[in-house]
Amino acid sequence: MPAILNLGISKTASIAIAIIVIVIIIGIAAYYATQQPAAPTTPTSPSPTTSPSPTPTKPKITEIKIGLIEPLTGTHAVFGQEAKQAAELIIDIINNELGGIKNLGGAKLKLVVADAGETPESAKLAAEKLIAEEHPPIILGAYISRLTAAVAEVTEREKVILIMDGLVDSLTEQGWKYVFRAAPKASAHGKSAVEFVMEMAKKKGLEIKTAVVMNEDSIFGHYVAQGAILKLKEYGVKILDHIEYPYDIADATPLVSKLKELNPDIVISVPYFHDAVLIAKTIKAMGFHPMFIAGAGACGYTDPESIKAAGEAVEWYTNTYSYNPARPTEWNKKIVEEFKKRYGKLPTEAAGIVFYSLMVVKEALEKAAEMYPDDPLNPDHLREAFLALDLNDNNSIAAQLYPTGRIKFAPNGDNLYAGTAIIQVINGEPHVVWPDPEPGIEPVFPRPDWKGGG
């Protein structure tokens, strides 16, 4: 029995020892293998055509698309077409005379255009299509305030900067982050119209006791009219009536009949284009002769197309404008002459707003490149660049094109130094008469056909 156990132990031990020996041999072999010198390599010189991979950088910006959405067809096409003409002129000047965006190495601006049509729905679709296809970081538009509001809903959602040429006050009261407006808001136009008339009356020794305010019934017309009403109340003028009518009015006879019945000293009228022509012709035909009829809201009555359409019917009418084509600065005179040479007419409201708005865009792009050289077109960086601008006649072309000569944006996007000018039709031609009349031009007040207010 003991002999058998002894044999078993020896056999087991032998197997164990063999396994251990094999493991040790393998381990020693592996150790020496790792200690072998590496195979010699032939040294090579760096190839002149190869270099370490550079850190990835963003491609150089050579072109920046700027969107323009305006009513190019339909009732308000007269304004949209003029805005487009102005944009083409200013883009050309920025690219070819001013060297593009200098802080971006001379990057050029490319205008991409869409038709806003006549409805908020068509304007919204135009904005969505333009952004999806062209990806502009900045868009201008859309002149008619209800169209502008529709565009703004899209640009705000897509984080695209919108430079508005729509004037309704509420456009900058929505809490929108990416909107800016250099132009004066609507209510300022109503106030300016009243201030002009009251100033002229005082100068001529006349007293204005009564007024009628009338406007087309869009939100734009309402805001302008409210500005006029507030200012008339400040002056103690009795408002006989505030009349609102459909913007697509087809017959102004009932409207003018009401004016004749009320017989106010003055009328503050807030029209667009077709209604202005219709109202002026009806007033002339029906023989209504108040002390004065002052347009407010920067369209109708006194622009070249209205004069062409209405003829003598708009003689002596005035209108407030967000632009002063007679402002005697170097760049304003230059651009007015260029516009007249290209298009054969005086630039007025629609063109003027685009003039200084696009020049503000150039200034903002220069500032963004300076502040954020690695990512200047980021929407938040662009917003900060717009807010950092403080433009005046001495440091900015945009300011030289602006009625007050000063542009600085509040956090809500409105210009802190907004202002208007007033144009009057005199001998069939539009002339700036207030606050600084053109050289050799005097405002015609009261209307020469006034019957003395009887």
Q: Which of 364, 346, 351 is nearest to 429 (CA)?
A: 346
Q: Do domains 63-184+327-407 and 187-321+421-434 have the same CATH topology?
A: yes
16 has a pLDDT exceeding 50? no
Domain ranges in the chain are 63-184+327-407, 187-321+421-434
Best CATH choice for the domain 187-321+421-434 from the list 3.40.50.2300, 3.40.50.11540, 3.40.50.880, 3.40.50.10190: 3.40.50.2300
Quick: pLDDT tens for 41-75: 443 333 444 445 554 556 799 999 999 999 999 98
pTM tops 0.95: no
In this structure, what token pair is assigned to residue 388? 């950092």
130 near 136, Cβ under 8 Å?
A: yes
Return phi, psi of residue 424, to 5°. -125, 145
The confidence score (pLDDT) of residue 59 equals 75
* Cα–Cα distance measured from residue 84 to residue 67, given in angstroms and rounded to the nearest whole number: 11
Length reported for the chain: 454
Question: Tokens 């109708």 belong to which residue?
Answer: 300
User: Distances from the Cα of 252 to the Cαs of 183, 244, 338, in angstroms?
Assistant: 30, 12, 38
Cross-strand bridge partners of residue 243: 214
Choice among 38-47, 75-84, 407-416 with the minimum mean pLDDT: 38-47
For the residues 249-265, what does the mean pLDDT come to? 97
pLDDT tens profile 417-430? 999 999 999 999 99
> Is pLDDT above 70 for 6?
no
Residue range 165-174: average pLDDT? 94
| Domain 63-184+327-407 = CATH 3.40.50.2300 | yes
Predicted local distance difference test score (pLDDT) of residue 75: 86
Give 266-324 pLDDT, tens digit per residue: 999 999 889 999 999 999 999 999 999 999 986 689 988 899 999 999 999 999 999 99
Round to whole Å and give the CA distance between 109 and 138: 11
Per DSSP, helices labelled H in 39-138 are: 77-96, 120-134
Please state, in angstroms and rounded to a whole number, the distance separating the CA atoms of residues 90 and 105: 19
